[in-house]
Structure 1
Amino acid sequence: MKIYKVTSVVPRAREMHLVNRKGSWTEKYTTYDMQLDGSIWIKDIYPHFKWPNGKINGKCDDGFKSFYKSHNESLEGLLGNYISAYFNVYKHIHTTSIDIISDFIALLENANGRAFKTKFPIYEFLKRINRPLNPDGSISLRGNFSGYNVDSDNLCYPNTIDLLLKNYKTDFDKAEGKAFQFDFSIYNILKRMNFDLNQDNSITLTGECSGYNVSSNNICYPNTEKPNTLTSDNIDRVWKHFFCNKKIESTTTLKSETTEWYSRDDCSIYISHEKYHDRSETKTDISRGKHAILRIGDELDAEHIQFLREDAGDNAPEEPGYCYNGDSGDDGGPDVTHWALTDDEKGAFRGWASGTPLGGWGDDT
């Protein structure tokens, strides 16, 4: 996908002779030749899904079609626009934006100060119009949007920590002191802002949010973890022991069937579901969703706490059979009762360890 400037739009009057059972006639229509960047010509653009004879127009592009309908059935208004487009294997053009400046401004206005990613290469466009690069490679916007930077991944984000945290205050309020995941790479942005890394490579936020750390996978979690709560350190063990591969029975009614299962991300454990609704004999609606049953920061149940204590080794049973720890059997050799050996091997090894080899096993040692 690349950025192109439309440098010429030439309408071409066409005629198509049509015949059917009622007679014959000539249908007039218009195609367009378009020049990009002063050198690339796209011929015979027809902004309709079907040709006048009813055949499918396989080269029809939704962007051109939409512009044509909203601009008095003409493509000539595209002259001077910067568009985002790519060419498929058949050399047909497909647009992702027919006016990236207008589309980008609309995205900025709708974002309300939050980070977002564009579907078109806005970073390439800003470089093309000679916007200077910051030391970290990002590009700062100007004017009403001077609080934003754009990086090489086309992520547009608030460029100061105060502005960043202010625009995400509702996320912190909604989290109520629990963990949540940012929907953009805030961790990399904080590194660009020269935040120090903690020993575990997390980053501690500042100001009103100083009670939170951000991990490399953009999980924001309380850094003053209370005892007996779900934490970033124990979520894996709780998940594997209590939820992973555990089944939840499906519920079925005359008109619907609901399937549920446990799922997780890096900060929460969920019950996810799919529900099938029979609207008629031929139509079925499917709804999907999930709700968190444990988030980092939530208090754990007594069974979770007991398991974590035992799993940490406080009451962990010994696992025999891995090494000789000095325990003796009846004949003075090591107790190999639980070792992964045959009966003959156990006897031979015990004899060898006590200095009296049995059955020739190890006689030469």
Structure 2
Amino acid sequence: MSEHLARAVAPQPADAAAALAQPEQLPGATLFARPQAARQLYKLDLKLGFRCNNKCVFCVQGDKRDHVRDLTTEQAFARLDHGRQTCDALLLTGGEITVRSDVPEIIAYARKIGFAQVQIQTNGRRLAYLNYCKALIDAGATEFNPSLHGHVPALHDGLVGAKGAFDQCVRGITNLVALQQTVLTQTVITRQNVTYLPQIARLLVKLKVAQVQFAFVHGLGTAALTWNDTVPRYAQVARFLPVALDIVREAGTSVICEAVPFCFLHGREWAAIEPRLHPTTVYDGNLEIGDYDRYRHEAGKLHGPQCARCTWANVCEGPWREYPERFGWDEFAARSDPLPRDMAGSA
């Protein structure tokens, strides 16, 4: 959740801190309420807490780690019950959810009450233990979303602040693939790894994952504190990301990118995930973001002066707003080419 969203709630600072520190049984405030006429599949993004066994330099949630309490098992169940009224799919995330002992229990409960899909977002370290992978699968997990941010230990471990994390994550991915699970990886694009995106792509293809996602770093939380070392310029991303996208696609593996505006994706527009995202409701602390699409469009991201004359503006969300607030709009350029027919219908 961004500072812009937090300001929309506008409680007194002490009250806000107390609310976050002691999560209620159900979220206490709803922002960006979802429309009454829901589209195809709604996903619930449930943040179980913000404890973590890594200390990533790019963590968008890093500022919550020390002052926001994790949900109890009972609170997690209550939020699942509430979310299931409108959502069919579930993403369990944090923080790092695998530091909890009750994750199999939470997964099993979610499946029991009717969630058809349960995706586990994780740094992948605990997946290095085969029996733990089997426990999550037996409980009902249907997809796994581990994060790999480097092609060698020095790069990945440096970014996540944990020695040995690379080897554990790679072993975890290998375990899941051997167990014939759906593995959808995430790589956060940072200043430290942007030039190595092609090498990371080759490694992920070699590991035989089902899908690779490259996501531009969101400059909030810890990333706001490490901005100068962590946030790359889009002009640099545009040199290396297309190569990485092509490597994965040519290998026959699904590949997507997030938070990369279309003016930096000439010829690779097919990779942008935003036009294809499932509608999502987010439970974050004591807040419910009913329609995360609206949040991204109205509070999370921005259009600049060039966007007003861009032919792709209606399908492009623009960058996370913190980027132009720091760097300005000089890198961005309006496009004049027409939208492809298959995208024009969603504009």
Question: Which band: TM-score by shorter chain?
Answer: under 0.3
TM-score (structure 2 length as normaliser): 0.22
Question: Relative contact order (alpha carbons < 8 A, sep ≥ 6): 1 or 2 greater?
Answer: 2
Larger radius of gyration: 1
